[in-house]
Structure 1
Amino acid sequence: MAQHFLLSAEARTLSLASIYKGGEDAAYGIFCRMRWAETDGAPVCPRCGGLKHYDVKGRRKFKCAGCAHQFSVTSGTIFASRKMAFTDLCAAIVLCVNAVKGLSALQLGRDINCQYKTAWVLAHKLREALASEVEGMQLAGEVEIDGAYFGGKIRPDNHIESRKDRRKSENQNGERRVVVVLRERDGATKTFVRESEAEGVALAVDNVAPDATVYADEARHWDVLHDRFEAVGRINHSESYSTPEANTNQAESYFSRLRRMVDGQHHHVSARYLYQYAAEAAWKEDNRRLSNGDAFRRTAKLALASPVSRQWKGYWERNEG
């Protein structure tokens, strides 16, 4: 029997030890090569695109010879104004890509020796970068659509006479949301967080090519898909999980990963930020066959290509001021 890829040596091409063994200069070089891959790590001014520059003495900064703008390797990216060492940033990315079912901010903070709040924001910045890879993408070919509810669990009262029916909306806490997934078979995955699964019909129309073949389950709100797409396959899960004509196994595989991430690692995810965790699980599901070294490089490139985060820059200053 052939060995599974994730158990092979080819899946392990980067270790945490090698990051720290290389030191700060090597980690800085990794960032330069990821940020300025076209020039093999040579600085490019983010303001005018100039290649001529001066080194700012005593600092890892540059001054453009053309427009006199001072910049660094993280200027204009989600790591802008960073205080963390480059070795710790590289280590954080390695830890996040190695944790295929997610990594709690508390554990990340312990591993790289930083405050919980620092680790929490850093992890969210990386999730934002991962989500940017499929932003604006239209799915095509064979696409599966499904929805699953997360959050909103109410702890039952101690005494049975005080307990309420938690299935009723009036007895819920308003945190329950549905994650709608649109997943190409052997392709990309897009996720959305909405109030109800029926909203997924409009999402499919906006994000899937009209000539695609769409697969869904037996829920009645998916009936509209037959009018919007050339081919639609339906599977009745009360009768079977898969038939030769249709299945939504790829979507269910994604939800399995997301549930393990939410329940096993984070334990509680706010409805406000559920979309971030959903996007992270989608990226990891799509790239599960990458070696951890390739996953590291891909994540670093996405992070350094992402602009300064409007949501996460100065997050704690805004929310605790």
Structure 2
Amino acid sequence: MQHFLLSSQARTISLKAVFTMGEDKAYETFCQMRWPENEGEAVCPRCGCVETYNITSRRKFKCVACYHQFSVTSGTIFASRKMSFTDLLAAIVIFVNGAKGIAALQLSRDLDCQYKTAFVLTHKLREAMARENMGATVGGVVEVDGAYFGGYSKPANEKADRKDRRLLENQTGKRQVVVVARERDGRTLSTVTGSEAQGVPFIRSVVETGATVHADEGTAWDALHASYETGRVNHSFRYMDKGVCTNQAESYFSRLRRMEVGTHHHIAGPYLNAYAGEASWREDNRRVANGAQAGKVGVAAMEAPVSRQWKGYWQRAY
């Protein structure tokens, strides 16, 4: 059976189509994503009036009621953008086309822009994507697991000087844990903590009452028995035990590891949560055509407010 990503159904948009549509068509596409309920016609973000004047020389609008001037990206995560609408749309397509993520360096080369521009843009897209899971919960059969990232300790050159890097006293203190709760055939939610035990409150906050939780033999998950019907599988002996497994959670970590090793090379630190959220989104939309994925990311970006974290990031204006 052919894999979905190899089928023609997975390819519904291409960079060729984006760059041949022209700036005007790209601009209309963003208008449609910003105001779908009004068929792309501008709606004043200040008073909600649907009657506006077009200031075509500057691609801006003026509200008939309150005289407020605004653009299609005003008040969104793309506010104060300097890139053309064609390049913005192309960046979204390139971003979703990377099954294991896209490096900011590669995006900067593809769009011929500065690395800083590509770095901030990709993180803005991740912030917009993360809004899809804000306040979400999971139920039914939920697989939970944790995986460690970052905190690499370089071994000493001489064998006699080397220490056991598994011991806490020989670690850097920068090691973090991504904890995931993945609903069978449903949503994937993740967070970043210092240990699996610290992730238990997160699991309780996102897993619905009455759900069945599947976990591995890690002692941190013993605390879940008091709140949920829990199935455990000892990976030292088998990966599935009478239907109990964490295979889908492991699939999520497989994608995140491949993002870390093959694409970004280093994703720990203050940005780990953003990359973990991106991996969740990619797992949940892995059977969605790239055109629909680009549309979802574009709409999410146009619905997201101005970023407090990434606005003026390189100017330290946050």
Q: TM-score, normalised by structure 1?
A: 0.96
Task: Look up the match of 1:125.
Answer: 124
Aligned to 1:262: 260
SS at structure 2 position matched to 1:313: coil
The aligned counterpart of 1:279 is 277
Shift of 1:136: 0.4
3-state SS of paired residue (1:261): helix
**Distance in 2 (alpha carbons) for counterparts of 1:292 and 1:108:** 17
What's the CA shift for 1:57?
Answer: 4.3
In the alignment, is the contact (CA less than 8 A) between 2:55 and 2:61 conserved in 1? yes
Tell me how far apart the structure 1 counterparts of residues 259 and 273 of structure 2 sit (CA, whole Å).
13
In structure 2, what residue type is equivalent to 1:234?
R
Q: Secondary structure at the residue paired with 1:226?
A: helix
Task: Work out whether 1:72 is the aligned partner of 2:85.
Answer: no
8 Å CA contact 2:176–2:268 kept in 1: the answer is: no
**1:210-259 deviation digits (Å, cap 9, x = unpaired):** 11111111112211211112x21111111100122300001000000000
Matches within 5 A, 1:98-137: 98-137=97-136
* Identical pairs, percent: 59
**1:49-96 CA deviation, whole Å, 9 max, x = no partner?**
111111124111101111111111111111000000011111111111
Aligned partners of 1:154 and 1:166 also within 8 Å: yes
Q: Is the 8 A contact 1:143 1:213 kept in 2?
A: yes
Structure 1 position 174 matched with structure 2 position 173: yes
| Corresponding letter in the other structure for 2:314 | W
Question: What SS class does the counterpart of residue 268 from structure 2 fall into?
Answer: coil
Task: Please give the alpha-carbon distance, in whole angstroms, between the structure 2 residues aligned to 1:52 and 1:209.
Answer: 44
Cα distance in 1 between the residues matched to 2:297 and 2:146: 27
One-letter amino acid of the structure 2 residue matched with residue 258 of structure 1: L
Q: Is the Cα–Cα contact under 8 Å of residues 233 and 245 in structure 1 kept in the other structure?
A: no
The aligned counterpart of 1:183 is 182
Structure 1 equivalent of residue 24 of structure 2: 25
Alignment of 1:146-165 (within 5 A): 146-165=145-164
Question: Aligned equivalents of 1:196 and 1:213: distance in 2?
Answer: 22
Is 46-55 or 159-168 further displaced after alignment?
Answer: 159-168
2:296 aligned counterpart, secondary structure:
helix
- Local SS of the residue matching 2:316: helix
Q: Does 1:253 align with 2:251?
A: yes
Aligned equivalents of 1:81, 1:135: Cα separation in 2: 25
SS in 1 for 2:245: coil
* Residue identity in the other structure for 1:279: G
SS at match of 2:240: coil
Partner Cα distance (2:2, 2:166) in 1: 45
Whole-angstrom CA distance in 2 between matches of 1:176 and 1:125: 25
User: What secondary structure sits across from 2:147 in the alignment?
Assistant: strand
SS at match of 1:272: coil
Distance 1:215 1:164 in 2: 35
State the match for 2:215 in structure 1. 216
Cα distance in 2 for partners of 1:98, 1:246 equals 33
RMSD of aligned residue pairs (Cα, Å): 1.3
CA contact (8 A) 2:129 2:300 kept: yes
The equivalent residue for 1:296 is 294
1:167-218 deviations in whole A, cap 9, x for unaligned?
2333322221000001111111111000001122211111111111111111
* SS of aligned partner of 2:254: helix
SS of 2:17's equivalent? helix
Secondary structure (helix, strand or coil) at the match of 1:187 reads: coil
Once the two structures are TM-superposed, the CA of residue 273 in structure 1 deviates from its matched residue by 0.7
Could you tell which deviates more after superposition, 269-278 or 155-164? 155-164
Contact 1:109 1:118 in 2 (8 A): yes
Gaps of 5+ in 1: none
TM-aligned CA deviation for residue 141 of structure 1:
1.2
